[in-house]
Structure 1
Amino acid sequence: MSRSTPPPAAVDDPPCPQSSSPAEALAIAYRGVRQASAALCDRLEPEDFVVQSMPEASPVKWHLAHTTWFFEEFVLAPHEPVFRPFHPQFAFLFNSYYNAVGARISRDRRGMLTRPTARQVLSYREQVDSRVEELLRAADPEAIRRIAPILTLGLNHEQQHQELLLTDLKHAFWHNPLRPAFADRLSDPPSEAPPLRWISYPEGIRWIGHAEGGFSYDNEGPRHRQFVPAFRIASRPVTNGEFLEFIADGGYSRPNHWLSDGWAAVQQLGWEAPLYWERVDGSWCTFTLAGMLPVNPAEPVCHLSYYEADAFARWAGARLPTEAEWETAADVAIAGNFADSGRFHPAPAPSLAPNDEPAQLFGDVWEWTASAYLPYPGFRPSAGAVGEYNGKFMCNQHVLRGGSCATPASHMRPTYRNFFHPDARWQFSGLRLCRDA
């Protein structure tokens, strides 16, 4: 990748001057997001494109091909005057979970796809990009009106995969005994996290979910009213230093703060610290996309499962916020340490922050909430195969909010609902404490 990864183009709002036509706006947004994915791969060698370190992760090459297949399947196939797939078997190789589209290779076998080669996948991307841009140039206004929603969904989908590409690559590099670095080495000056404060919110009926206007996923609506009791939320995420206290107090060796399933995971998987933490010469170090580094006590703790986040909150005499509480507190400007910075690692909280606003709600680490991933009242999946995008996963998972240091900034909204199984740890996931008022 380049020394400073260019920020992906925004897809929620017009990404070009007011004088641009809707077709030109879509083309500029498309080009920006697609180029951002390619830029993430600039520093990789061909061997890096194929590795799959666990069934939940995917090879870099697969991410690049799958996002391209999405545009070929859902944009080109329905709208090109004469559609021919780039390769007749690519739909089988690069479909993820769309049952309505057809059969697919099992997820745990994606790393066995030595062919097509990375070079062939890049050629696939180039041809599909050329065809999408030609389609946009030739389409009349009515066709653009039909194409725009699915193309915009595809761009947001690709931004999701930009983040997954980074988290999956980190997991693969961690398994390499050489512990290779992907990004520039961090050189943070010594710092301390600001003291944790509690910010109070009164009880009330809140509007939750995405309002009209701008892009959102179907699981962010319908917008609805919800009674939220009074609560207090922490001014910043939990830090590495605070989590070290939990470890030192026997957090991983005593079951009293753990959910039953969480304690079973600790015992079965041998968890003793967050993922990527290791003891080196008696001190805790962590693997980052910049290589092995000492654990910085001032940084937000990350790579925690829901079980670990919940156990820490109980140990601290607090709890995790519900997603309605989190969204209530998120009525602040969207700013933070996102993938656009090229840091790809959580940063210490700013020393100066408004007394009445929580810091680092966006970027740095996804924050686990206490809320199960369930449909909002009145939710209906979208029609067709794209209706499988979110709705069918609303079971046995928990919601995370706020984005991370691997999330493109233009991809984030206060209503964005991420979700993972409670034992997942390879994402940049941390926590923020909450208490009843």
Structure 2
Amino acid sequence: MSVSEDVDALRRRAVDALTTARERTALLTSCVDEPELTAQHSPLMSPLVWDLAHIGNQEEQWLLRTVGGREAVRPEIDSVYDAFEHPRALRPTLPLLAPAEARAYASDIRGRVMDILGGSPLRGGPLLDAGFAFGMIAQHEQQHDETMLITHQLRRGPAALTAPEPPAPDPADTADLPGEILVPAGQFTMGTSAEPWALDNERPAHHRLVPAFHLDTVPVTNGDYLRFIEDGGYTDERWWAPEGWAQIREHSIAAPLFWRREAGQWLRRRFGVVEPVPADEPVLHVSWYEADAYARWAGRRLPTEEEWEKAARHDPATGRSRRHPWGDEDPTPEHANLGQRHLRPAPAGSYPLGASPLGVRQLIGDVWEWTSSDFLPYPGFVAFPYREYSEVFFGGAHKVLRGGSFAVDQVACRGTFRNWDLPVRRQIFAGFRTARSAGDV
């Protein structure tokens, strides 16, 4: 491939990623009326209209001004849409752009950015090489799209979004799945130094020696979790970390978020629809403390972050780490449940073509998976292109989640991608699977 052909391919990839993200943003902000866009549906989340203009402002700052060297369009709103300056609970008090103005602003910036992208050599420094800055902004927009989808789940009122149901797994296949899979001891390559759009906390690639362990073949399901509830899991202090026990007592938590028991049946609210809790889906909307308590109750534990990544990426036959469990190719609808294609996780055991070399399923998509690990930098970490993306969150306050969910687009989901959140968070699309060390009974 010639240099020009390589640049053309990178440019098409960047255009596709930015366009896909903007189409999703438009869907999430056009399916409700103006009062719904400007309302704050939870103090945990921003008004949808804040996210919309913030997306445009980040694009202006990084792609228009920094990469393109163009004059600022709306410098006076930089402070309003600074995520670190204003907590989410206070954002409705800010002088936000109205919905029509926010849409026009984001559209104007996108048009200017596409002109810059069309003439960019996509090389000439870390921000430009392989179109990194354009990929970073596409990922940023998709991350906010996931945030807006969480807001849609939190909002009250009739359903505003629809999507087809995920395909059911083949019973003949799933019935024969083992409950857990042994991941042999040994060294593997964790993180990446080669993925062109990988973010700073995924870098650099380095070796980790991981003892042998067993990992659940599929995520913990609603049916599994119901057994924990029915066995008194929420009323038995033995299973809970002290902070988790205090949290559930203070807030009278007795089930995953959005669940309720009515007339002897467990129901859940999902994007405005109330329905019976499906036993075969991965459990969703549980905090790290709930996942940890379940694992203790089951006589197991949450996997570490390196265990999760080794199970997802390491190929024992070749000794190399793949981009994804199934290989290096980008996800397809046959590999994983991604991109808001479905508004729910697929049943446990789905997507056999997305299995890891050892046979672990649904490591990518469906639900973010809590790990036992704190969010910490890798050896040799360098903040890029700004400290506030990762570095300011490092430490023991945040736990790592891996694998993505049905709400994550493929541009922001890969075997090395690291998410993090506070262990009390329940509104996110998070579930888990459990592990045990080899030799543990």
Q: Same fold (TM over 0.5)?
A: yes
Contact 2:350 2:362 in 1 (8 A): no
Provide the residue aligned with 1:417 in structure 2: 418
- How does 1:396-415 map onto structure 2 within 5 Å? 396-415=397-416
Q: Give 5+ residue unaligned stretches, structure 1.
A: 1-16, 98-103
Provide the residue aligned with 1:393 in structure 2: 393
Deviations 1:139-178 (A, max 9, x none): 466679854322221111111111111012211x2xx2x4
Provide the residue aligned with 1:370 in structure 2: 372
| 2:152 corresponds to 1:150 | no
Provide the residue aligned with 2:345 in structure 1: 346
Secondary structure in 2 aligned to 1:163? helix
Of 387-396 and 194-203, the range deviating more from structure 2: 194-203
Q: For residue 182 of structure 1, what is the amino acid of its counterpart?
A: L
Secondary structure in 2 aligned to 1:397? strand
The separation in 1 between residues aligned to 2:257 and 2:112, in whole angstroms, is 42
- Using the size of structure 2 for normalisation, the TM-score is 0.85
- Using the size of structure 1 for normalisation, the TM-score is 0.86
Deviations 1:101-135 (A, max 9, x none): xxx44432223357421111000011101111122
Structure 1 residue 74 displacement after superposition: 1.6
Q: For residue 418 of structure 1, what is the amino acid of its counterpart?
A: N
The separation in 1 between residues aligned to 2:124 and 2:112, in whole angstroms, is 15
Q: Give 5+ residue unaligned stretches, structure 2.
A: 314-324
The separation in 1 between residues aligned to 2:66 and 2:151, in whole angstroms, is 32
Change (3 A) 1:291 1:75: same
Q: For residue 194 of structure 2, what is the amino acid of its counterpart?
A: E
- How does 1:171-186 map onto structure 2 within 5 Å? 171=154, 173=155, 176=156, 178-184=157-163
Contact 2:168 2:346 in 1 (8 A): no
| 2:30 corresponds to 1:50 | no
Secondary structure in 2 aligned to 1:206? strand
Provide the residue aligned with 1:90 in structure 2: 77
Structure 1 residue 231 displacement after superposition: 0.3
The separation in 2 between residues aligned to 1:382 and 1:434, in whole angstroms, is 33
Structure 1 residue 184 displacement after superposition: 4.5
The separation in 2 between residues aligned to 1:25 and 1:295, in whole angstroms, is 39
The separation in 2 between residues aligned to 1:81 and 1:223, in whole angstroms, is 32
The separation in 2 between residues aligned to 1:62 and 1:83, in whole angstroms, is 23
The separation in 2 between residues aligned to 1:304 and 1:269, in whole angstroms, is 14
The separation in 2 between residues aligned to 1:303 and 1:149, in whole angstroms, is 32
| 2:213 corresponds to 1:231 | yes
What value does the CA root-mean-square deviation take over the aligned residues? 2.7
Contact 2:370 2:432 in 1 (8 A): yes
Contact 2:64 2:70 in 1 (8 A): no
Provide the residue aligned with 2:112 in structure 1: 131
Provide the residue aligned with 2:384 in structure 1: 382
Of 203-212 and 297-306, the range deviating more from structure 2: 203-212
The separation in 2 between residues aligned to 1:129 and 1:26, in whole angstroms, is 13
Contact 2:59 2:137 in 1 (8 A): yes
Change (3 A) 1:280 1:180: farther
Consecutive aligned runs of 4 or more in structure 1 exceeding 6 Å deviation: 187-193
Secondary structure in 1 aligned to 2:392? helix
Secondary structure in 1 aligned to 2:275? strand
Structure 1 residue 402 displacement after superposition: 0.5
Structure 1 residue 187 displacement after superposition: 9.2
Of 315-324 and 184-193, the range deviating more from structure 2: 184-193
| 2:236 corresponds to 1:254 | yes
Secondary structure in 2 aligned to 1:92? coil
Secondary structure in 2 aligned to 1:292? strand
Structure 1 residue 252 displacement after superposition: 0.5
Secondary structure in 2 aligned to 1:388? coil
